[in-house]
Amino acid sequence: MKLHCNIEVNNRLSVTNVIRRRSQRSILIIGRQTVKNTEIYILWQTLQNKQGTKYKVNNNIDKVYTTFINEGKATIRFIEPPHDLIIQSDKIQLKSFIHILKLTLTRNIDPSVLAVSNLNPKCMNSLPKIKVVVNKSSEYPTLEGFPRTTEELYLVGLNRKSFDRQILKLQRLKVLNLSNNQISSLPKELGTLQHLQELILSQNRLDKALKWTWLDQIAIRSNLKLLDMSNNLLRRLPEQIGKLDNLVNLKVSQNMLSYLPQSLGKLYNLKYLDLSKNNLHYLPGSMRNLHLISLDVSNNDFPFIDSYSMCKIDVPSLTECAARSFLKIRHINMLKNMFFFAQVLSYDASIIPFTLVKYLDEAKYCVCGNACFHCYIRKFVRFNSNIIANTIKSTETTFLPFDCYFCSIKCVSYAKLQY
């Protein structure tokens, strides 16, 4: 069996005992040396070592670590030489390879099943293509499609008006750049790509998008780190943007936004936020909970806003009390997850009724971090945005208007002292 993967080698007898070689594109092959010899070996091949390095399998493997195999990671620890092969690959193919290896170790597989030719060095020129760039429409692989091993796909400036569903077959995809096209909607299945970390959609027509269900999918909510939707004529951002739990960089500059969703304050891992060149009148008060490295709000209006206030303090319903408690626990788990591997509570229409999903999505967030729904106090407050970001890029002043929701009179009093 052959496995295309990235391998990092740890030599346990190195001077410092922590020195590792850099991860390399590799091929791992498990098979026999000759027809008569039933001894099983693993052959590790790279572009630099085309003849490969053979490792004996039987009685020579100390342990196979598979704790993170669902993330496409595993480690094989050999006794001689004292090497740890740290493997990263497609999780399905990796599981198959490890399964064959374990059957070999327990002698539950007939060695004759593993063909002799499997152990012969392969031509490393056949390493799978992981980066695909299409610069012209005439180069677009309409019939043959993209290599299934693609990890980075750049389809820039092709004037495409629709999303190519062939992309959904690329289960290893990490970076997708569709900038400078005419795409107006994205399919729900885009959010199911397990490894997608960077999504660049600048200079398209997402202002025409009616549905944003791709933002509701668990995979994209857990993995996406960069989202660029700048220059899309957007007049609003969807509430679902607040579900991208691990988002680090959000770019929505050069749009027509006059306000932002309160859910933006739920992006606790967000570090870089570009809101420049919009028509913003104010910022959501929930942003008070963010700890940004950089915030760009230059070239926005931020007109004068009267000290508008609204008081809707009442006895909350049972539904609101339950929703507040759920989102509070979820918030605490997310903060723990920033330092430890705590489980983050998720919700979607497969777990609870869709009406409750929508209810939770539309929560407002107090400056204290708690959620509120129908019972709240709403006030426009100007405060120094240096509280939420280390670096501020603004046209005039860093004292900006915030649309703040307060879950109690106590929080209003606290806000007056702070701002």
User: For 27-76, how does the pLDDT look when each residue is reduced to its tens digit (9 = 90+)?
Assistant: 899 987 776 777 889 999 888 887 889 999 989 999 999 999 988 899 99
Provide the pLDDT for residue 32. 79
> Which is nearest to 1 in space by CA: 40, 34, 35, 48?
40
Statement to judge: residues 280 and 346 lie in one domain: no
Q: Range with the lowest mean pLDDT among 270-274, 293-297, 387-391?
A: 387-391
Is-above-0.95 flag for pTM?
no
Q: How many CA atoms lie within 13 A of 329 on its CB side?
A: 9
Provide the pLDDT for residue 228. 98
Statement to judge: residues 284 and 135 lie in one domain: yes
Statement to judge: residues 262 and 218 lie in one domain: yes
Report whether pLDDT(374) > 80.
yes
The answer to the question of residue 136 being in a domain is: yes
Range of the domain at 269: 131-296
Q: How many CA atoms lie within 13 A of 387 on its CB side?
A: 16
**Higher per-residue pLDDT: 111 or 194:** 194
Q: Work out the angle between the directed axes of helices 318-337 and 354-361 (0-180°, nearest 10).
A: 70
The answer to the question of residue 113 being in a domain is: no
Statement to judge: residues 148 and 248 lie in one domain: yes
Burial class (CB in 10 A: 0-12, 13-18, 19+), 408: middle
Residue at which a domain ends, from 106, 140, 174 = 106
Residue 264 to residue 381: CA distance in whole angstroms: 17
- Let me know: does 44 contact 53? Beta carbons within 8 Å: yes
Residue at which a domain ends, from 296, 318, 349 = 296
Statement to judge: residues 142 and 72 lie in one domain: no
The answer to the question of residue 318 being in a domain is: yes
The answer to the question of residue 280 being in a domain is: yes
User: For 141-176, how does the pLDDT look when each residue is reduced to its tens digit (9 = 90+)?
Assistant: 988 889 988 999 999 999 999 999 999 999 889 999
The answer to the question of residue 395 being in a domain is: no
- Let me know: does 237 contact 252? Beta carbons within 8 Å: yes
Statement to judge: residues 237 and 369 lie in one domain: no
Statement to judge: residues 142 and 285 lie in one domain: yes
- In one-letter notation, the amino acid at residue 70 is N
What integer best gives the mean pLDDT of the chain?
86
Statement to judge: residues 253 and 333 lie in one domain: no
User: For 205-223, how does the pLDDT look when each residue is reduced to its tens digit (9 = 90+)?
Assistant: 999 888 899 999 989 999 9
CATH number of 61's domain? 2.30.29.30
Statement to judge: residues 246 and 327 lie in one domain: no
Statement to judge: residues 37 and 167 lie in one domain: no
Provide the pLDDT for residue 209. 87
The answer to the question of residue 114 being in a domain is: no
- Identify the bridge partners of residue 378 per DSSP, sorted by sequence position: 310, 405
Q: Which two tokens stand for residue 288?
A: 């008070």
> Helix, strand, or coil here: 43?
strand
DSSP E strands in 107-161: the ranges are: 131-134, 152-155
pLDDT band at 111 (very low <50, low <70, confident <90, very high): low
- In one-letter notation, the amino acid at residue 207 is D
Number of domains in the chain: 3
Statement to judge: residues 195 and 52 lie in one domain: no
Residue 224 to residue 198: CA distance in whole angstroms: 6
For the chain, the residue count is: 419
Provide the pLDDT for residue 203. 97
The answer to the question of residue 389 being in a domain is: no
